[in-house]
Amino acid sequence: MGLSKTIWANPSEFLCAEKPVDPVMFFAPSVLQATARRFIDGFPGLVTYAVKSNPEEEVIQNLVAAGIQGFDVASPAEIDLIRRLAPGAALHYNNPVRARHEIAHAVAQGVRSYSVDSRSELRKLIEIVPAEGVEISVRFKLPVSGAAYNFGAKFGATREMAVGLLRDVAAAGFIPSLTFHPGTQCTDPAAWDAYLRAAAEICRTAGVKAQRLNVGGGFPSHRLVGELPRLDEIFALIGRVAHEAFDGAPPALVCEPGRALVAESFSLATRIKGLRDDEHVFLNDGTYGNLDELPIAGIIDRITVMSPEGEIRNAAPRERVIFGPTCDSVDRLPGEVALPGDIAEGDFVIFAGMGAYSVATNTRFNGFGNSTIATVLQLTP
């Protein structure tokens, strides 16, 4: 693309100068650092980052610069990435099912915190990981509520089973802790209320004092114009309910947001390849690319449309079907999306809040998926 600058003022400066034919992710480090500080100041405990939501190096480096000192990692590759970029950071290996060679890799890299949701995987950890000073968190689940989709379908022990696992962890000489994940894009603060009270109940029944309680990711990001995330409300609720449920002596709290930390720091600029007979919009990016997550997590309606000359389209909105560039018919954004009535072929369609599960899950299906990242001072188009 022949970039002449490394940091641009805003997306329109780049788009007007470069007129890119491929999708561009605009990254604002200032927004990421401000969000990280909002978590660090607001959350009543340790804030760690779930690497899978966006493992770009600039993301990790800016989080470290903002004061994030712990990372939720799920694979040897993520462990190595963080060891390289943030050698002093704490690593929490919170993927509850791991191959033996993956566990051995974590031990060699000095990982001292693991999660588990089954007897078979706890047995593996006991065999391979020296217990001294190492934490094992039992991951439990409740019937899902408030999230975009059900995380409990894959991971989490029932409450009854968690009681037994917590006892076994303590008996094996590991530091016993608890963890849960209420489900991603969880807009209902009450989900944390139910999980915190269940955690206290598990500890009481097991007769084991958990050292730490990891309240997961799942914190919502701003996807819909009309729905602001209620982060401060969720932080306050977590602090208050943890004290109540554990009779004034809660375990040390940890959170591991992915989405809510990184989403707002990226905007995705796509381009209209074709406006088929003035009906369907075909973009140069879709559900096999950076918009991969929209069919399961729901639409993002924070959209700006801009002409190649940088003029914001603002005619009365009209609902349209939006397709991605591949020849697969599932490559379509959910529902119909309101776009300005005066959009035209060649326009840029810019989605806000696109940092999570976008660059991380982009495929190269059908020869598409080529996109770049441009750093900007601010994301306002």
Instruction: Catalog residues that contact ligand PLP under the rule CB under 6 A.
Output: 50, 52-53, 72, 94, 181, 184, 216-219, 256-260, 356
Helix or strand holding residue 43 (H, E): none
Query: Which two structure tokens, joined as six digits, stand for 98?
Result: 């791991």
Measured distance CA(78)–CA(84) in Å, rounded = 10
| Among the listed residues 53, 59, 110, the one whose alpha carbon sits nearest the alpha carbon of residue 80 | 110
- Of 22 and 188, which has the nearer Cβ to ligand PLP? 188
Q: State the Cα–Cα distance between residues 224 and 272, nearest whole angstrom.
A: 22
- Residues 76 and 102: beta-carbon distance below 8 Å: yes
* β pairing state of 348-351 and 303-306: antiparallel
266-276 and 280-283 beta bridge pairing: antiparallel
Task: Say how far apart CA 364 and CA 199 lie, in whole Å.
Answer: 42
Residue 279 phi, psi dihedral angles, 5° rounding: -115, -85
Q: How far is the CB of 339 from ligand PLP (least distance, A)?
A: 27
Choosing from 16, 203, 255, 327, which is the catalytic residue? 327
CB of 372 to ligand PLP, least distance (A): 24
Nearer to ligand PLP, 252 or 275 (CB): 252
Torsion sign across C-alpha atoms 100, 206, 110, 262: positive
16 given a catalytic annotation: no
Least distance to ligand PLP from the beta carbon of 138, Å?
13
DSSP state of 251: P
Token pair recorded at residue 354: 């696109």
CB of 182 to ligand PLP, least distance (A): 9
Q: Cβ 16 to ligand PLP, closest distance in Å?
A: 33
CA angle 9, 13, 16 (to 5 degrees): 170
Residues with a known catalytic role: 327
